[in-house]
Structure 1
Amino acid sequence: MLPHPPPQSPSVGRSTPIMAHGSLAWCLSALLGILLTPSLGLEPPRISFPLESPERPLPLFSRPDIKNTTTMLLSDDDSTLFVGAQDAVLSLDVSQPDVITMKTKMEWKPTPDDLYMCTTKGKKETTDCPNFVRVLQPINATHLYACGTFAYNPHDTYMDTDTLTMAKVPRKYNDARGRCPFNPYQRNTAISVDGELFTATTNDFLGKISMVSRHLSKDGRPDVSQDTSVTLNEPTFVSSASDTSERKVYFFFSEVGNEYSFLDEFKVARVAQVCKDDIGGERILQKRWTSFAKAELLCQPPKELPFNIIQDMFILAPSEGYPTQETIFYGIFTSQWSVASGQSAVCAFRLGDIKDVFAGNYKIFQNHQWSPRKSSNLGKCGLDNAPDTTLMAVKESFLASGSVRPMGSVPVLNSPDQRYSRIAALRTKAANGQDYTILFLLSESGFLHKAVLLNKDTHIIEEIQVFRQPQLVKNILLSTSKGVLYVGTSEGVTQVPVSQCPSYKSCAQCVLARDPLCGWDPASGHCASVSAIPANARQDVDHGNVMKECQGSLTAKPLPVEVYVQLNEVVRLNCSTSSNLATLSWKSAKGSTLPHNLFFHPRDESLVFMATPDTFGIYYCISVERGYEETAAIYTVRQSVSPRAIDTPAVQIRITTNIQRTTETKDQMTTMMEIPSDIEEKLDLINFGEDPVINTDVATNNKTPDTQSTTENLEDKTPDTNSSTEKPEDMTPDPQSSSEKPEDIVNHNEPLTAKSYQSELVAVSFLLAVCVCVLVLGGLYGWRLLGRYKLGPWDTAEGGYKEEKDPLECEPPLGSNKVSPPSIKEAE
């Protein structure tokens, strides 16, 4: 693993050449490590469910008058979902499964004057100036607190949880600044602890000044905030959490790291803490945090660049009986470098490790460099009455020297092709009594990935598409008690069940899913939730061993599909499997491997071949996953019956003839004789290749089955297969005999029923032979005539001229009394 870049002086002013060269050397070494290290790709999701898939129905709440439903809050009993939307706050009834209905809607819109003031500042009325509700938190058992951007002029209010009526009317300009952002597209975080509101957001119109504050303070305590001019540097806040055991609040964000010196600004992922009851100092740090401290979060795979930008953080409480130190923070991290722009990683951090870093040494910025400082008061609570020297040290030293490293020192998930943006997690007990953690990861492409963390790797159980268009603002909220995940986007609120066990139809598929929430119930013969199975649930999350868990409950083979085709047609047999991790192969009932010169395997795992007597038969599509083999499809390919078939006695004819066909002879045959139209149609079906063999298998029956096949005719002819001939019973494979070995299955190449054209073929053959003989005799006769008469004028035997004769004049026949004319010899 590459060491993290060593601390350098902050980037205040001009960097020295030594610092710049050292940082550049570290970047080059990291990039070299990336190029020399093979990429360990994460396995794809086992099953994919596109949007509106019937196998994974998702209830959706969407209305044309409601937009940007991204801020969500569940009631204490998880029966009501409060949603902060654009110009409205909603109360949704989610008590019933598979349905979301609206109970109450409170409109909260800017006035026309507010919209006008927003547009005069250069903002767009439709996209920037509406009121986007960005904070929605419970204040007490009966009221909610809400804060919205309100046309770039933040406003807040209290609402009754039952009626959503306002208990407070916004009073003055910028009344809620520091509680929610001006810009609706800037990220912020807020959390309510014992009725007090802790926020981290920007505090000005331009979004340049950020604040970590406490509002609605109780017991007469003043509200406190953080002086961001030194402690924070362009932060982007993503999440917050509270530690009730030590009465602390944690904030997670990314910012520019002043402790590093790079040619470009180097982003750093951070965690910051404040004490819940902090009231500030008496003379120094008045109404400012005396307990504020921040530390770096490291998320870096071995020999790769670090993922230094945090996108989201989820807090997973410890199991029952474990201390709060075992609270786990699961965060999504991305990289600021373009070489890893499409990648993301998930790192897990223990609360105990975070506390250890804040209890350690800190850094102080002196003489243009960061130096370590030891103090027992830094990062502690209860410094409101501390002396000025102590508070001055707290003001100067707020950056912890140590960095928080992830559990196992490496990411729990590293995706080279998915950019995740939101995360949720739950812990569940599997059938074997072991605890597993399941992550729900929302990607920028609109898919929700469900992954289970194993000892050595991560298995992505499924991916579910929840939206198509890219979303600038989105959010997810998990209800563990209801087993439902809510996804809020600009299109509406989608309800995603954390598991859909009945979708696995067999024991093998249930076990291969490796879902800790699902198990096979041998009593009912169904895949169900583990909590609903009384005993003996079949499950193997770590290995997915089907042969071990599904003994006596193996999958039945599918029913065979009959495909009827004509000779010389291209046959395509399709095969698919729900698992993206399974490999498909094809086998024949003849028990031999399929030769590559006859069978073609496209990328879609189908089987393509030419329909010939040798390729008719039964084919099996075999799916193999984690060593388990099952039949995915069975096809029986037969030769279809001619549409001209009539009731004649069954006869099988094999005619073999050799015909040398040329264009010339074909034209001559066409002109010399007239062939009946029905026989001429049959001649077009003869393959006039070199030494062709015509095999005609003819059989008759009364009916022909209705055929369905996905074939392509190379001759662009689609034969009519809807005749009225019944198929023989012995040609239908028995579904119950699918367990037979391939060598025990009969190849059904039976003679087919068709009309006999023996007499026509004999007549045609005879006529062809007569034509050939006439042509041969005519050629010989012409050659004989040319051979008897010389075309040259000089007679070499007599040394003189020879009379030229008309080549068209024939010799007199033998025995003729005709006397040739006397020769005339020229005088010298």
Structure 2
Amino acid sequence: MVHSASLCACLSLLTVLSCHSHVLPRLSFPIGNPGRSLTVFTNPDVYNTTTLLLSNDEGTLFVGARDAILTINVSQSDAMTMEKKLDWSPSEKDLVDCAMKGKMKMDCHNFVRVLQVLNSTHMYACGTFAFSPRCIYINSKTFAMAIGPSGKPEEGRGRCPYDPYQKNTAITVDGELYTGTVADYRGTRPVISRHLSEGSHVDLKLDDTLGWLEDPTFISSTYVPSEEKVYIFFSEIGKEYDFIDKFIVSRVAQVCTSDVGGQRTLQKRWTTFAKAQLLCQADQELPYNILQDIVSLSPPEGTSEDETLFYGIFTSQWQVNLGRSAVCAFSLKDIKKVFTGHYKVLNRDTLKWSTRVQEQMANPGECGLHNASDNTLRFVKDNFLADKSVRPVNQGLELVSPDKSYSNIAAQRVRGAHGRDYTVLYLLTESGYLHKVVLLKNRAHIIEEIQVFQQPQQVKNLLLSVSKGAVLIGSSEGVISVPMSNCSYYWSCAECVLARDPFCGWDPVMKLCTDMHTHDHLVQDVDEGNVSAQCTYVSSMSRSGQSRTPSTVCPPGEVLSVSLNEVVHLQCPEASHLAKRHWERLNSQLSPKIYIQSDDGSLSFVATPSTLGHYLCQTVENGYTQTLLVYHVKQKSNPTILPATPNHPPSTPSTKAGNKTPVHTPRLIAPRQTEPRPEPDDVDPTVTLKDSPVATTHKSRNFTRLLGMDKENSRMTEPGENLQQADKLSYFQELVVVSVLLALCVSALLMIAVKSLRHLYHGRTVLEAPSSRRDAENGGSATPQERESLRGHSPRLEKRNGQAPNGQAHNGKSPITLSNSMLNSSNGHLPNTPM
């Protein structure tokens, strides 16, 4: 059994990794990157700004902090200013009492955990208040403490947790407060209750008997007006499962707002309480059973409220899924269906659950049971756990993060092109990154990830200001506002379409990527991201009249002069995490025996006559290929000969640094990029390629790099023509160089031959000594010294290790010295530059 369980776990892990490995953020923005602006509110006297509440007009943000409540003006999307601050600190006696209970001094402050709008004139707030919860009323106009019905601050037990680290939930409906928290100092008495009841209503809570809640962790709550029900979401120990270890399950519970408790049975207790399991599980996988956060998304206009969706973040207690998160969606229709079905029965003696077999006396969870008989209410008291679980929409997971643990979520419905609605999720990771996700058919696409924290922070919730277009995040160190859209970052139609952001569309008239709500004729393809179908109008026409797709158009080239046998490094920047980079040569293949393509996209090789030429840095994303950079690698020429430079559009600024020419390159995002990304249009930022003497410059987001300008004929030409012209000029220059070197070589050979003849003639005209003739006549009986002397006047020319005849070195005085570079340059081989 153990081996079988392990095998199943391994298969589940492999299945998950294979199915969800493609879920990767397209772009990454490290903190401080100018490509993604953030607005941060911090104050040296304010801490733990975690509880957030937006006003009805979304112009004011109410913040519950440590020992204070703030109002922040968020009417401007790029600024947050504190307007008022209400101090609410424990007294010295409260702090001393808290310390005597054995609590840390830093935990004895008043952490505001409940902040709700009570009515049109007042707000209601509750805080931990040195482990002795308190609640106050706040006048909305004067933002000052108001006197409640009791004339003094109210006790917060059952409304707010004692411990600032315990999770809780609270919501107000018609001036009444519905909470889920703990009602004792030790945190062992969980309770779902109603407070501030008015009229015929009375304050209600769960019965104190065991079984209603099992060590829960409260997450969130929401109100559905058509149902007149409050739904509470939490995690707890699932007692219905008979496991050795404690098995945690996620729950949704409901109570009716019209509930007033029973007349005799369940007096001042809920008669409509019911709960069911939320099952976030895909086929043949272990469930993600621990709920971290959940948010409701209202249905589209004109549809039933049953189409309300609840998007939740789930993690797993199983070792095989540790460090991973899943997002599941549940519909209100499915929740209602489960609550109207069968229920399990709890044996109060053994505290064991079983499937009910007795006659159903009532439907638990149904509103209006407060007038039922005692037998019916006793039946409801023992039958409040639904038999079936609520399964996710489409019976699957919306998203699985293979290496990120999500902690908070927010959801929004966005109207895209052609009136199509898309669901956008904002997911905050525990490591401090905000993921912006759009849900497509049967999969999810992470548009971008934005780093909002340097260190992990305690975050209670995320708020969306739809009218201001901002995501508000309250953390322990401050409040951060993140713009929902970042359309101006995408510089071309291709990038705007590949982003697949429902907020953004390409304007073919203005030639820029802009927000969808500003125009109706924008180009967008969120579902497919098909660049060829959406951006055909940017194609250029060749002289033959045939259209060219954007992928075949090359930007102007960067001329890189190198010496032979020099190691060349060419950098290819990263367009996105989903794009694959590769290198191309015109009419040539990149052999792995000669070229090294690294994981960072760079290309390395040794400069030889055969490796000189043009190199194209290209990326492929979603079937679309685009050329980012073109390098023209050429040999360093004679300083007296001017190098060839490709043609540029008239608007391109020129550079005077050596043989370098400017190349227009798009703004590219890379997770390891250290250079700041350009933002303003009137700035000329320079991106320096690592390990390469190449500098690339661009001036504006609206790039006009697809076509070159023929200045002489005043017409638009293709970039290929520029490259051909440069090649022709390069051939002529090198032909001149080769001819000169050939002439020099012939002259050198002639001079060497003349000198050799002179030495030969001089040796033959030397008079022989009588002793030499006698020795010759006697058969060569010369002494060794004489033979050595004669050998020194030999007419043969020898040259060893740079020594001239007679053992004398040239010492650089030879008329012509042939170096290796000259030989290589005169071997008749021209650089392999394609036509």
1:705 is aligned to 2:685:
no
Q: Give secondary structure in 1 for the equivalent of 2:388.
A: strand
**What's the counterpart of residue 274 of structure 1?**
255
Question: How far is 1:704 from its partner?
Answer: 8.5
Q: Alpha-carbon deviations, 1:695-715, whole Å to 9, x = none? A: xxxxxxxx98365996879xx
Cα distance change of structure 1 residues 712 and 384 upon mapping to structure 2, 3 Å threshold: closer
Matched AA of 2:174: D
Q: Alpha-carbon deviations, 1:760-796, whole Å to 9, x = none? A: x969x989x99xx9xxxxxxxxxxxxxxxxxxxxxxx
Contact map agreement 2:574 2:601 (CA 8 A) in 1: no
Structure 1 stretch 608-617 or stretch 326-335: which is displaced more? 608-617
- 2: CA distance, partners of 1:738 / 1:204: 78
Q: Give secondary structure in 2 for the equivalent of 1:404.
A: coil
1:635 is aligned to 2:631:
yes
**What's the counterpart of residue 379 of structure 1?**
365
Question: How far is 1:742 from its partner?
Answer: 10
Cα distance change of structure 1 residues 650 and 111 upon mapping to structure 2, 3 Å threshold: closer
Question: How far is 1:476 from its partner?
Answer: 0.9
Contact map agreement 1:345 1:413 (CA 8 A) in 2: yes
Contact map agreement 2:561 2:633 (CA 8 A) in 1: yes
**What's the counterpart of residue 135 of structure 1?**
114
Question: How far is 1:625 from its partner?
Answer: 1.2
**What's the counterpart of residue 66 of structure 1?**
46
Contact map agreement 2:67 2:112 (CA 8 A) in 1: yes
- 2: CA distance, partners of 1:118 / 1:812: 114
Question: How far is 1:534 from its partner?
Answer: 2.8
**What's the counterpart of residue 794 of structure 1?**
none
Cα distance change of structure 1 residues 275 and 641 upon mapping to structure 2, 3 Å threshold: same
Q: 2:30 aligns with which of 50, 62, 81?
A: 50
Q: Number of residues paired by the alignment?
A: 681
- 1: CA distance, partners of 2:339 / 2:68: 41
1:166 is aligned to 2:145:
yes
1:319 is aligned to 2:300:
yes
- 2: CA distance, partners of 1:377 / 1:587: 70
- 2: CA distance, partners of 1:742 / 1:543: 35
1:184 is aligned to 2:164:
yes
**What's the counterpart of residue 34 of structure 1?**
12
Cα distance change of structure 1 residues 227 and 745 upon mapping to structure 2, 3 Å threshold: farther
1:76 is aligned to 2:56:
yes
Contact map agreement 1:155 1:175 (CA 8 A) in 2: yes
Q: 2:235 aligns with which of 221, 237, 254?
A: 254
Cα distance change of structure 1 residues 107 and 745 upon mapping to structure 2, 3 Å threshold: farther
Matched AA of 1:303: Q
Matched AA of 1:341: L
Question: How far is 1:560 from its partner?
Answer: 2.8
Question: How far is 1:613 from its partner?
Answer: 3.1
Contact map agreement 2:502 2:526 (CA 8 A) in 1: yes
**What's the counterpart of residue 594 of structure 1?**
590
- 1: CA distance, partners of 2:642 / 2:376: 109
Q: 2:606 aligns with which of 610, 625, 635?
A: 610
1:281-430 correspondence runs (5 A): 281-366=262-347, 368-372=352-356, 374-430=360-416
Q: 2:99 aligns with which of 90, 115, 119?
A: 119
Question: How far is 1:609 from its partner?
Answer: 1.6
1:459 is aligned to 2:442:
no
**What's the counterpart of residue 570 of structure 1?**
567
Cα distance change of structure 1 residues 98 and 558 upon mapping to structure 2, 3 Å threshold: farther
**What's the counterpart of residue 538 of structure 1?**
523
**What's the counterpart of residue 553 of structure 1?**
538
- 2: CA distance, partners of 1:116 / 1:312: 35
Q: Give secondary structure in 2 for the equivalent of 1:146.
A: strand
Question: How far is 1:329 from its partner?
Answer: 0.7
Contact map agreement 1:577 1:632 (CA 8 A) in 2: no
Contact map agreement 1:185 1:472 (CA 8 A) in 2: no
Cα distance change of structure 1 residues 274 and 29 upon mapping to structure 2, 3 Å threshold: farther
Question: How far is 1:423 from its partner?
Answer: 0.9
- 2: CA distance, partners of 1:261 / 1:812: 113
**What's the counterpart of residue 809 of structure 2?**
none
Cα distance change of structure 1 residues 739 and 432 upon mapping to structure 2, 3 Å threshold: farther
**What's the counterpart of residue 103 of structure 1?**
83
1:681-692 correspondence runs (5 A): none
TM-score (norm 1): 0.76
Q: Give secondary structure in 1 for the equivalent of 2:514.
A: strand
Contact map agreement 1:444 1:470 (CA 8 A) in 2: yes
Contact map agreement 1:327 1:351 (CA 8 A) in 2: yes
- 2: CA distance, partners of 1:711 / 1:267: 51
Matched AA of 2:198: K
Cα distance change of structure 1 residues 741 and 75 upon mapping to structure 2, 3 Å threshold: same
TM-score (norm 2): 0.76
Question: How far is 1:206 from its partner?
Answer: 1.8
Structure 1 stretch 331-340 or stretch 557-566: which is displaced more? 557-566
Q: Alpha-carbon deviations, 1:295-328, whole Å to 9, x = none? A: 0111101111101111111101111111111111
Q: Give secondary structure in 1 for the equivalent of 2:250.
A: strand
Larger CA Rg, structure 1 vs 2: 1
1:160-239 correspondence runs (5 A): 160-168=139-147, 175-227=155-207, 229-239=210-220
1:625 is aligned to 2:621:
yes
Cα distance change of structure 1 residues 176 and 585 upon mapping to structure 2, 3 Å threshold: same
Q: Give secondary structure in 2 for the equivalent of 1:246.
A: coil
- 1: CA distance, partners of 2:50 / 2:71: 13
Matched AA of 2:110: N
Contact map agreement 1:450 1:461 (CA 8 A) in 2: yes
Question: How far is 1:468 from its partner?
Answer: 1.9
Question: How far is 1:220 from its partner?
Answer: 4.5
**What's the counterpart of residue 469 of structure 2?**
483
- 2: CA distance, partners of 1:464 / 1:488: 16
Contact map agreement 2:461 2:473 (CA 8 A) in 1: yes
**What's the counterpart of residue 500 of structure 2?**
514
- 1: CA distance, partners of 2:22 / 2:108: 42
- 2: CA distance, partners of 1:193 / 1:143: 14
Cα distance change of structure 1 residues 281 and 26 upon mapping to structure 2, 3 Å threshold: farther
Matched AA of 2:523: R
Contact map agreement 1:104 1:163 (CA 8 A) in 2: no
Question: How far is 1:606 from its partner?
Answer: 1.0
Cα distance change of structure 1 residues 746 and 706 upon mapping to structure 2, 3 Å threshold: closer
Question: How far is 1:421 from its partner?
Answer: 1.2
Contact map agreement 2:426 2:437 (CA 8 A) in 1: yes
**What's the counterpart of residue 447 of structure 1?**
433
Contact map agreement 2:559 2:631 (CA 8 A) in 1: yes
- 1: CA distance, partners of 2:102 / 2:22: 45
- 2: CA distance, partners of 1:30 / 1:249: 39
Cα distance change of structure 1 residues 151 and 562 upon mapping to structure 2, 3 Å threshold: farther
Question: How far is 1:634 from its partner?
Answer: 1.6
Contact map agreement 1:153 1:173 (CA 8 A) in 2: no
Q: Alpha-carbon deviations, 1:728-786, whole Å to 9, x = none? A: xxxxx979755428995754464499999979x969x989x99xx9xxxxxxxxxxxxx
Question: How far is 1:249 from its partner?
Answer: 0.3
**What's the counterpart of residue 90 of structure 1?**
70
Cα distance change of structure 1 residues 299 and 813 upon mapping to structure 2, 3 Å threshold: closer
- 1: CA distance, partners of 2:342 / 2:690: 75
Q: Alpha-carbon deviations, 1:54-107, whole Å to 9, x = none? A: 111111111222221111000000000111111211101011121111111112
Cα distance change of structure 1 residues 110 and 462 upon mapping to structure 2, 3 Å threshold: same
Contact map agreement 2:13 2:320 (CA 8 A) in 1: no
**What's the counterpart of residue 147 of structure 1?**
126
1:741-780 correspondence runs (5 A): 744=724, 746-747=726-727, 748=730, 750-751=733-734
- 1: CA distance, partners of 2:463 / 2:557: 45
Q: Give secondary structure in 2 for the equivalent of 1:231.
A: coil
**What's the counterpart of residue 157 of structure 1?**
136
Matched AA of 1:532: T
RMSD value over aligned CA atoms?
Answer: 3.4
